[in-house]
Structure formats: structure tokens, C-alpha cells
Amino acid sequence: MAESVMPERAMLEAVRAFNRFYTNRLGVLARDYLETPYSLTEARVLYELGARPQLSASTLIGELGVDAAYLSRILRKFRNDGLVETRPDPADKRSQILQLTEAGRHVHTDLARRARRQIEGEIEHLGSDARLHLLQAMRDIETLLAPASPAPLILLRPHRVGDIGWLVEAQAAAYAREYGWNAKFEALIAEVAGQFLASFNPAREHCWIAEQNGARLGCVMVADGGGAEARLRLLYLEPAARGQKLGRRLVEECIRFARQAGYSTLTLWTNDVLTAALRIYQTAGFRLVKQEAHALFGPPCMGQTWVLDL
């Protein structure tokens, strides 16, 4: 049977009609996006700045594809409103390092809340089957229009039933294989993960699972350390996920969450053999405050405590 092919003109008009429907539905063309004083582009800039501790203007231009002069005007407005701080980029004299102020982080949080509320309003009338159908349709559009993507998108999502058991098993097996660590390490991470689940407080704690096409690739936690201290726990990447800056992305999520939750410091305990993780912590601004030799997991190690002032 011959394949039925839509005429090119009809295809183009159908895509244009969908674009008009979708932009009108979400109000992305409105000057007051999400009933705020910001346009969609301005909100997107705030989102990118809030997702990472700091970002260079040149990187932002490349990722968003925005005109440099236009971005400069947006940043000038944000500086005047006290939302953004800038300083020279040591790696590029023509660029700047950008960072949200406390006021900027409040706006970022409010925009995220408004966006979630808008989406909830759009899908609240849909049943579970319809929601799954909608999600698959969006994935299909993304896949079909970006065929040259080197790999499917890696999503960061909250933990759900089964995830904590997976992260204990995955880390215990990986560190036994790569570093020769014994069952005492598995006992330690099982204890940490169990305490996290038993006393989980979503306002003060969070677990991220990195997922690609339904497969878990990594994880990290922020746990309440008491008072104004948060603890970064159980950062892990599957071997296939390494070298993609996913570890840095997970740590940046921890930092963003800890700041928004009102913590003053973010601490972590690790070991000197985990050199890739140590580079991530150093790049993010953590400082080494204590180290002590031990053999808790079999082979000799140097346990290290790192702290980031938020």
C-alpha cells in the first residue's frame, strides 16, 4: 500500500497553526508574561541565571541564541532593579560573570511558581491517560524536530518509590568495582538514604534523579544538617553518564535549592580518591576544611569535609 503523504503546503500551514495556538495558549507573546513585569525572554534569562550559581554573559548568549545588544539591555534593566550582580569575566575580557542577588532569586522562585501553576491549570481537566498521551506527543515533537541531537535529553526529577533502593545498590556496586570498597560502604549509604526517607521534609530536603529515556543515570541529595546547615549527600553518576557535565549540573541544583530553602552553608563529606567529584566541588566554590585518614571501607582513604558559604 502506498504511503499517504501530506502536501508540503498543508504541512507548513498545520505547523504554523499549531505555533499560533501554543503561543496564544501560554501567553508567551504578552509583555507581562505570567502576569509579571517581564517578557518571555527576560523570564528565560532569569531562569538560566537562577539555575546555576553563576554564568558568563557569553555562555548565556550562546545557549539562548539572543542578540548581545538585546541581552545587554536586559541585564542593565536587571542591575537597575537590583536583581543581578556582574563582574568582569577573567576568561573573556569582553564578557561578564552574572549572578542573581537575593532579590533576583526571589523573582526567579516566583516565576517558577507561576509557570508551574499555569501548567497545572492547563492540564487539570485531563485524565491520567490523556496526560500520558500529551507527554508522549511533546516528546515526539522534540525528538522529530531535533534529529541531530547527540543524545536524548537528561532530565532531573524528584525521587519516587524505588529510586532510593536503586541509588544504594548502584553506588555500592560501582565503588566496590572501581575502588575495592567493602560492604561497610553499602551500610553507610543505606543508613544515609534510610534516614533521608524516614524524616523527609520537602521544604528543607530534596533528592534529584538524573534520567534519560527512563534509565537512571545519577543522583544527589540535599539533607537537613540542623540549624542553618544543609548537607550534600550521595552524589553519583553511572559510568555511561560521566564526562557530560551532569555532575556539575546536579551540584548546582543542590546549591540553588539550599539557598532557596534558607540555609547558610552547604557541607559534604567525601574521599580523596573521588577526584572527578572533587573538581566539581572546587569549581562550585566549596573549600576544604578538614581531612582525616581512614580505612572504613577497606583500602586506605583520606576523608574530606568541604563547605560552601551560601
For 273-295, what is each residue's pLDDT tens digit? Answer: 999 999 999 999 999 999 999 99
Domain containing 196 equals: 155-309
14-18, 31-35, 55-59, 305-309: segment of lowest average pLDDT: 31-35
What are residue 200's DSSP bridge partners? none
| 170 vs 178: CA distance, rounded Å | 12
Residue 1 lies in a domain: no
Question: How would you list the strands of the sheet with 92-100, edge to edge?
Answer: 55-56, 92-100, 84-89
pTM for the model stands at 0.54
Cβ(18)–Cβ(144) below 8 Å = no
Q: Does residue 199 belong to any structural domain of this protein?
A: yes
Residue type at 91 in one-letter notation: A
Measure the N-to-C terminal CA separation of the chain; round to a whole number of Å. 64
Burial group, residue 174, by CB count within 10 angstroms (0-12, 13-18, 19+): middle
Q: Does residue 279 sit within a domain?
A: yes
Domain boundary pick from 145, 167, 195 = 145
- Does 273 map to a domain? yes
For residue 110, what is the domain's CATH number?
1.10.10.10
Q: What is the pLDDT of residue 151?
A: 60
Arithmetic mean of pLDDT, 255-260? 93
pLDDT, tens digit (0-9, with 9 covering 90-100), for 195-237: 999 999 999 999 999 998 888 999 999 999 999 999 999 999 9
Judgement on whether residues 13 and 72 belong to the same structural domain of the protein: yes
